[in-house]
Structure formats: C-alpha cells, structure tokens
Structure 1
Amino acid sequence: MRLLFVILRIVMAFAIAIAIVAQLAHSVSFLQGTSGFDQAFFVTNFFSFFTVDSNAASVVVLLAGAALGIWRTGNTNAATATATDPLLYTTVRAAVVTYMVTTGIVYNLLLRPLSLPQGQTLEWSNEILHVVAPLYLLLDWLFAPGRARLNYRRLWAIVSFPIVWVIYTLIRGPLAIDASTGKPWYPYPFLNPAASANGYVSVSFYVVLIALVISALGVGVIWVSRRAARIST
C-alpha cells in the first residue's frame, strides 16, 4: 500500500509542478510585448492566486510524503515501518488537503462559468490544478497510509494561511495597479469591490462564505484523521 502511494504521490507532484510552470511560461510568452506588460508584476500576481499557492504547497507535501513512504518501505524495523507520520507533517498535509478541496469547490461552483482569457490559459493545466489535483489530494487523505490522529485545535493551523492570504489580497488589491488596464488587480472577481454594485459588502459576503467552507472542510479533514490512523504497509 505504501509503495503504491509513493508512486502516485511522485507522479501527481510532478504533474502539478509541470502544470504550474507550463501555465506561467505560456502566459508570460503570450503577454510578452503587449502594451503595459510588466513581467515582475505579472509573476507576483500569478503567485498571489490561492489556487497556485495551494497547488505549489501540494507539490511539497506530496514529495515529502513520498520520501516518508520510501524511508518506511525500506526500513526493516517493524515499529518504524508501521508508525504514523509525524504530527507536524500530518497537520500541514491536512491544511493543504483542505485548501485544495476548497479550490476545487470554489472554482467549479463560482469560477468555471467565467470565460477564460482566449489563448492565455492552458486548458489541460487548468484542469489539473482545479480538478485532478484536488480530487487526488482528497483521495490521498482518505486512503494513504501513515495518517496521524489530529486534535480539533489543529483547525487554527489550517485556517491561518487563508486568513493571511485574504488580508494580503485585500490590502494589496487597491495598491496593485495593472498598467495595461489602469485598474487595481485582484486574483478573483468576487474579491474586487469594484466588480459589484455592493462593493465591500459583497466582498465580505464571499469572504465569510469561503471562510465557513474552509472551516467546515477543515473540521471534516480532522474528523477523518480521528476515525483511525492509517498505518497499513
């Protein structure tokens, strides 16, 4: 069982990494030379997307999990080979699973109907980052061996990054003026007060809604960990 998930984690980590790099390179190439294009500004914006941040964190978590699996698979000590993963790793893994599932839900419910920039977005990369990766991270959490039992107090660790990200986004938004449009830049339209007649009231509604979703999913992820620690080899 461990060896199977070692292979799956490595494959998925590389698929996500390739999808991120390919989308970034394609977008830069597509926009290079257009009026007002600032490469440094664009790259900063690219890594200001919650989706990109969550997927990048997934690569690290999956490779770390694969390394743990390889170490345990090759360990002749029975106690070590069947032990649960370190609590810190499991907490970070739980957080990333929560973010990725949130990414999948928010994208497919709120953002999928929006038209994508023609020629700028790689469809296959988009599907990996918003559909394939979230589904795999969820299945990995449910079935991969080594998952430690988490206390519900760990929910604070899970929600801390989204809180920081929202604060960063709302503070940076009015200051990040896109030279090509002359308007403030926000990663998602529902966080842009100028995109709604209700301004920050609408933004607050979506922030609270997504906060509730992340909190609920975080509780669910912790609950799964408490059902039983997966230590099968």
Structure 2
Amino acid sequence: MRTLVNALRLIAVIATASAILAQWLVSSRSPEYNPFNFFGYFTIQSNIVIAVALAVTLVVAFRSKREPLRLSVFRGAATVYIATTGVVYNTLLTGAAVENTVPWSNDVLHKWIPLYSVLDWLLFSDRGRLLLRHVWWFLIYPAVWLVVVLVRGATDGWVPYPFLNPSLGYGVVALYCLGVAVFIALMGVLVVGMSRLRIVKV
C-alpha cells in the first residue's frame, strides 16, 4: 500500500509541475507577461505549495521515517490552500475569461490536483493528528497574500481575480475577503478533523 500511495503522490507532483510549466511557457510569450503577476495567482502558489508538501512527504517516506508533526501541519495547510483554489475557481471563476490559458493545465491545477490532494489527506493515515490551534497557522499565508494583492490593486491596478478588483468598491471586496477567510478557517477545521481518521493504513 505504501508503494501505491508514494506512486500516486509522485504522479501528482509531476502533473502539478508539468501543468505549471506548460502554462508558464505559454504565458511568458505574451507581451504583457510579468513574472510577479503570473506567480501572484493563488492558484499557482497553492499548487506549488502542495507539490512541495507532497515531495517532502515522499522523501520522508523513502527514508522510512515517520512523518513529523511539523510536516503534517505543513501538508494540512497545503491541503487547505489547494482545496480553496478548487472550490473558489469552480464556484466564482469558472466562467471568467483568461487569455492564453492552457486547457489541460487549467483542469489539472484547478480540478484534479485539488481533488486528489483532499482525497490523499482524507484517506491515507500517514499524517499526524493535528489540533485546532493549527488552524491559526493555516490562516497566516492567505492573509499575507490578500494584503499584498489589495496593496497592488490600489497601487498598480493588478488583481489576480475579478472579485478582488477595487472597482467593485472596497466594501464588496472586503465581503469577498471575509468569505474566503471564513471558508479557509472552516476548511482548516475540517482538515484537522480528517487528520484523526485512519481509513487506509499506510
């Protein structure tokens, strides 16, 4: 079972890296390409984070070591972020028009990796039991990301997603931010609860 789980995680890491690279190769050819914009998307960042988390988990597994709690916290946070990417995209952004999008890459980053990551965390038992206080750690990165995006929106006018556009009014943007924050917190509580399940022993 451990071999199968490791193989699935390796495939997920390779798929994520390939999808990001494919989209970057297309986006970088655009005259409007800006690396700070490309890597400023929560989608790209959350996929990088989950890929790193799974890759580190693989290294620990190959060394036949038990996963340390700090890695479980990191992987739990990564699961929260990638799940947020999947839910937000498929509810708020599925009809948004984005230029130079690579269809298969878009599906991998917004649908398949979020789905796999949640199932991986839910099903496989090789993670530590998290505590509710860890949810606060999960919120730090999204909060910093939102602050940076809001500052950029107010200064150079760039925002990664339509619902964060200052032209909507900061009251509306604040409500969206609050909604995302609440969702992330609730997802964090769910991830903590999942960490106590032992469905498939690895």
Would the TM-score normalized by the shorter structure come out above 0.5? yes
Is structure 2 residue 182 aligned with structure 1 residue 190?
Answer: no
Is structure 2 residue 90 aligned with structure 1 residue 113?
Answer: no
Residue 196 of structure 2 is matched in structure 1 by 226
Q: How does 1:4-19 map to 2 (within 5 A)?
A: 4-19=4-19
Q: Is the 8 A contact 1:91 1:154 kept in 2?
A: yes
Amino acid at match of 2:57: G
Q: How does 1:1-233 map to 2 (within 5 A)?
A: 1-29=1-29, 31-32=30-31, 37=32, 39=33, 42-72=34-64, 83=66, 85-117=67-99, 120-176=100-156, 184-194=157-167, 196=168, 199-228=169-198, 232-233=201-202
Amino acid at match of 1:66: L
The number of residue pairs the alignment matches comes to: 202
The alpha carbon displacement at 1:152 in A equals 0.6
Structure 2 unpaired stretches of 5+: none
The alpha carbon displacement at 1:232 in A equals 3.0
Give, in whole Å, the separation in 2 of the partners of 1:98 and 1:2.
23
Alignment deviations for residues 25-59 of structure 1 (CA, whole Å, 9 cap, x no partner): 11112x14xxxx3x4xx111111111110001111
Q: Is the 8 A contact 2:123 2:200 kept in 1?
A: no
Q: Is the 8 A contact 1:103 1:130 kept in 2?
A: yes
Amino acid at match of 1:93: R
| Residue range with higher mean Cα deviation, 201-210 or 141-150 | 141-150
Q: What is the SS of the residue equivalent to 1:11?
A: helix
Q: RMSD of aligned C-alpha atoms?
A: 1.5
TM-score, length of structure 1 as denominator length: 0.83
Q: Is the 8 A contact 2:153 2:166 kept in 1?
A: no
TM-score, length of structure 2 as denominator length: 0.95
Give, in whole Å, the separation in 1 of the partners of 2:2 and 2:131.
24
Q: Is the 8 A contact 2:83 2:118 kept in 1?
A: yes
| Residue range with higher mean Cα deviation, 156-165 or 61-70 | 61-70
Q: Is the 8 A contact 1:155 1:218 kept in 2?
A: yes
The alpha carbon displacement at 1:175 in A equals 2.3
The alpha carbon displacement at 1:67 in A equals 1.4
Q: Is the 8 A contact 1:3 1:69 kept in 2?
A: no
Q: Kindly name which structure, 1 or 2, has the bigger radius of gyration based on alpha carbons.
A: 1
Structure 1 unpaired stretches of 5+: 73-79, 177-183
Q: Is the 8 A contact 1:5 1:66 kept in 2?
A: no
Alignment deviations for residues 86-109 of structure 1 (CA, whole Å, 9 cap, x no partner): 010000000010011111000000
The alpha carbon displacement at 1:231 in A equals 8.4
Give, in whole Å, the separation in 1 of the partners of 2:98 and 2:55.
31
Give, in whole Å, the separation in 1 of the partners of 2:103 and 2:201.
37
Q: Is the 8 A contact 1:3 1:70 kept in 2?
A: no
Q: Is the 8 A contact 2:125 2:197 kept in 1?
A: no
Give, in whole Å, the separation in 1 of the partners of 2:153 and 2:20.
23
